[in-house]
Structure 1
Amino acid sequence: MRKTLYRSRNRVIFGICQGLADHFDLSVVWIRLGLVAISLFSGIFPFPIFYVIAAFIIKEEPLHEQKEEPKDFYEEDYFETNVSARTLSLRRLKNRFDSIESRIRRMENYVTNKSYDWERRFNSGQ
């Protein structure tokens, strides 16, 4: 998953350096040192202009990450596939339902087992 570039809310001036550090998974110290070095070698004048332009262009970090609600597996596999991939989706659905059915059978076997009945009676005091 790729991170989006945002201006950070944890900032000193506009949050550009912290946003770049978060985006590239670096320390903000290295980003700031790099920008100071670039500004010294290119002349101090163009750096503040580009910094302010970046502050207007880059969006501010959202307060809360919006997470997409998880879809049911059949919606994911069946409704969002191409017509040519429907057989694959149907096969996945069949495998999913087969695994659910086998789990239900195992639970039924456990509950209908005589040792379960004896254990239930023993624990309930009957």
Structure 2
Amino acid sequence: MKQGFRKNRRDAMLFGVCAGMADHFGFDVLWTRVAFVALTLLGFGLPVLLYLTVAILAP
């Protein structure tokens, strides 16, 4: 059984949120970061808000 979401500090660039998401869902961390940056640059401010929220709340 899979554990809950955790930040990955080993592969972290800032807080480890993208690395943790990549580990949890089985994606490559590079593509997770690319998707986050692309969504942010397209004008969607929600990814930044979600990133900061998860950075604060996730273990």
Q: TM-score, normalised on structure 2?
A: 0.80
- 5+ residue gaps, structure 1: 60-126
1:30 is matched with: 31
Q: How big is each residue's C-alpha offset from its partner over 1:32-87, in whole Å with a ceiling of 9 and x where there is no partner?
A: 011111112234x544332211101111xxxxxxxxxxxxxxxxxxxxxxxxxxxx
Q: Distance in 2 between matches of 1:33 and 1:16?
A: 13
Larger radius of gyration: 1
Q: Distance in 1 between matches of 2:3 and 2:23?
A: 8
Note the 1:41-52 alignment, pairs <5 A: 41-43=42-44, 45-52=45-52
The count of aligned residue pairs is 58
Q: Distance in 1 between matches of 2:43 and 2:57?
A: 22
After TM superposition, the runs of 4+ consecutive aligned structure 1 residues lying more than 6 A away are none
1:54 is matched with: 54
2:17 is matched with: 16
Q: Distance in 2 between matches of 1:3 and 1:27?
A: 18
Higher relative contact order (CA 8 A, sep 6+): 2
Q: Distance in 1 between matches of 2:51 and 2:26?
A: 20
Higher helix share: 1
1:3 is matched with: 3
